[in-house]
Amino acid sequence: MKVATQEAAQRYLYSFRSKGDRFGLGGAGFDFGRVLFLAKLVGNPQNKIKVIHVAGTSGKGSTCAFLSKFLAAHSKKVGLSISPHMFDLRERIQINNKLISEKFFLKYLNELIPFIEKVDVTKYGNLTFFEIMIVLAYYIFQKEHVDYAVMETGLGGRLDATNIATAKNKIAVITKLGIDHTDMLGNTIESISTEKAQIIHKNNTVLTVDQEPAAQKVILTQVKLQDSIFHQIHQSKTYTNISLENSLITFDFKYKGLHLRKLSLSIPAEYQVENASLALATIYEVSKRDDFNLEESVIRKTLLNIHIPGRFQELYLEGKKIIIDGAHNPQKMSVFIEDLKKRHSKTLFDFLLGFKKGKDYEEMLTFIVPISKDIFVTEFHGDDQDRIIIPEKAAKIRALLNDAFFAEKVTIYSDPIKAMEKAQKKHDTILVITGSLYMISAILKELKE
């Protein structure tokens, strides 16, 4: 078969979503051999390009964005694959930070379809949307001769579709590790770190940030096992003197031969300094290995102009200030709320919240409730994503807020858009929208339209 339009392509790809994500990671029908087989059928493109593979609990998407922006600004042709997407599924396959054209997306998908059909009739069973999109991304990046492919892990690492990339020249980047997705990755920092550290393959170059001792031990064990090269950045040494000046974050960066004072970051969130610094250290190592120069002026301009949707995103709607952040686990929520309090001390906020079913929202609420004025709880439906997203019931969240946190001003709405419309008219205070990237995607689409 062939698909002739973007709408037909989307319908075709979404047909690979199964009820309960049966064939996805953690499902009864999951088999990592399936995505390996598809990649083999199309010539293993993932091992014919230079891959920068990013895994972690917090900061994966932002670190990928920084990496892609830095490399493209230095005249490199860069492929970027992220998930979830916000507005268009082609965000999962970008070249030089732009969506691949519909024409080329259809061309390459049609080239892949015969191989997809071959896999579906084998012992492996149905491919998933995510597996197809990842192999398609690697395939397109090889066909388009990118200099680098920046790949964000979907979930975990060991059995994630992105982890079919095993070449020795791969750069493995591990952001901050913490507790999340316990149903699939285990409920200890050791088990989660073990899953994520296995993006490290033989002779890879590895970069990471300060980690908890248990996570650090796991990473170093995998580095030694794979005879890889290890680099690490440190808050007290690599990035220092962080401050907020005129709605910009400034900081000093020092890593080996790269010393930059008073860098200005356009995203007014301290948590992004670590992600930007990890990306800077990574491109430093890449530049030394691949023999190209980093330009200070280019780095400064990139940081000053970067914009990442849904990450401490500030906007005004009918005169009301809204801050949107996709924090969706306790680790992310903790640092987001800390930045919120630093930027707006002695302020109570209205919150619009929605959580995906299975998330540890009780712990996230411990950070939110103390600085809240009114709380609006909603549900959302991620029908435009790689899996069918099930939200937590708003009534259940409200009951927890009432019973465990003694929160009185809690209102529920079944629709996030209506919830936002009501919330923005409630008070003059800042409205904060957080809890799920899927919910934020739905809201940002509506605002864009």
Per DSSP, the residues of 156-184 read: SSTTSGGGG---TT-EEEE-B-----HHH
Residue 348 clears pLDDT 80, i.e. is over it: yes
83 and 198, same domain (yes or no): yes
Is 92 part of any domain? yes
Is 400 part of any domain? yes
pLDDT of residue 240: 97
**CATH number of the domain residue 374 falls in:** 3.90.190.20
Left, alpha or beta for 254 (phi > 0: left; psi -120 to 50: alpha)? beta
367 and 424, same domain (yes or no): yes
Instruction: For residue 448, name the pLDDT band (cuts at 50, 70, 90).
Output: confident
pLDDT of residue 286: 98
Summarize pLDDT for 136-150 with one digit per residue, the tens. 999 999 999 999 999
Is 95 part of any domain? yes
271 and 383, same domain (yes or no): no
Share of the chain above pLDDT 70, in %: 95
pLDDT of residue 25: 67
232 and 361, same domain (yes or no): no
Give the mean model confidence (pLDDT) for residues 15-43: 81
Question: Which residues, listed in sequence order, are joined to residue 412 by a DSSP beta bridge?
Answer: 377
380 and 391 Cβ atoms separated by less than 8 Å: yes
207 and 277 Cβ atoms separated by less than 8 Å: no
Instruction: For residue 21, name the pLDDT band (cuts at 50, 70, 90).
Output: low
pLDDT of residue 428: 77
DSSP summary character for residue 101: P
d(CA 40, CA 48): 12
287 and 397, same domain (yes or no): no
301 and 356, same domain (yes or no): no
pLDDT of residue 383: 64
Residue 52 clears pLDDT 70, i.e. is over it: yes
Indicate if the alpha-carbon torsion angle 154, 157, 163, 167 is positive or negative. positive
264 and 376, same domain (yes or no): no
φ/ψ (deg, to 5) at 46: -65, -25
Q: Both tokens of residue 351?
A: 């919150």
d(CA 277, CA 209): 9
Q: Both tokens of residue 283?
A: 């491109």
Which residues are CB-neighbours of 62 under 8 A, at least 6 positions away? 272, 275, 276, 308, 311
Residue 243 clears pLDDT 70, i.e. is over it: yes
pLDDT of residue 246: 80
d(CA 391, CA 118): 34
245 and 377, same domain (yes or no): no
235 and 372, same domain (yes or no): no
State which of 284, 305, 326 marks the end of a domain.
Answer: 305
Instruction: For residue 380, name the pLDDT band (cuts at 50, 70, 90).
Output: confident
Is 324 part of any domain? yes
Is 254 part of any domain? yes
pLDDT of residue 345: 86
Closest by CA to 27, choosing from 19, 38, 36, is 19
Residue 387 clears pLDDT 70, i.e. is over it: no
299 and 280 Cβ atoms separated by less than 8 Å: yes
DSSP summary character for residue 293: P
- The residue among 202 and 422 whose pLDDT is bigger is 202
Is 1 part of any domain? no
279 and 326, same domain (yes or no): no
State which of 277, 305, 333 marks the end of a domain.
Answer: 305
- Strands across the sheet with 258-265, in order? 239-245, 248-255, 258-265
Instruction: Count the domains in the chain.
Output: 2
Residue 156 clears pLDDT 80, i.e. is over it: yes
Answer whether the bond into residue 114 is a cis peptide, omega within 30°.
Answer: no
Q: Could you give the angle at which helices 32-41 and 102-120 cross, rounded to 10 degrees?
A: 120
49 and 132, same domain (yes or no): yes
pTM of the model: 0.93
d(CA 148, CA 52): 7
259 and 253 Cβ atoms separated by less than 8 Å: yes
Instruction: For residue 384, name the pLDDT band (cuts at 50, 70, 90).
Output: low
Question: What's the angle, vertex CA 223, arms to CA 222 and CA 225, rounded to 5?
Answer: 60
Residue 376 clears pLDDT 80, i.e. is over it: yes
338 and 226, same domain (yes or no): no
pLDDT of residue 126: 86
Amino acid at 132: I
Question: Which residues, listed in sequence order, are joined to residue 2 by a DSSP beta bridge?
Answer: none
φ/ψ (deg, to 5) at 237: -125, -45
Residue 20 clears pLDDT 60, i.e. is over it: no
Is 377 part of any domain? yes
Structural domain span for residue 338: 313-448
Please state, in angstroms and as integers, the Cα–Cα distance from residue 119 to each residue in 9, 48, 359, 431, following that order. 18, 22, 33, 48
**CATH number of the domain residue 80 falls in:** 3.40.1190.10
pLDDT of residue 50: 98
Instruction: For residue 406, name the pLDDT band (cuts at 50, 70, 90).
Output: confident
Instruction: For residue 445, name the pLDDT band (cuts at 50, 70, 90).
Output: confident
State which of 275, 305, 335 marks the end of a domain.
Answer: 305
pLDDT of residue 414: 87
Residue 291 clears pLDDT 70, i.e. is over it: yes
67 and 421 Cβ atoms separated by less than 8 Å: no
Give the mean model confidence (pLDDT) for residues 230-245: 95
How high is the mean pLDDT of the chain? Answer: 92
Summarize pLDDT for 93-133 with one digit per residue, the tens. 999 999 999 999 999 999 999 999 999 888 888 899 999 99
pLDDT of residue 182: 63
pLDDT of residue 319: 82
d(CA 431, CA 109): 41
Give the mean model confidence (pLDDT) for residues 378-407: 83
d(CA 355, CA 390): 9
Residue 444 clears pLDDT 70, i.e. is over it: yes
Instruction: For residue 251, name the pLDDT band (cuts at 50, 70, 90).
Output: very high
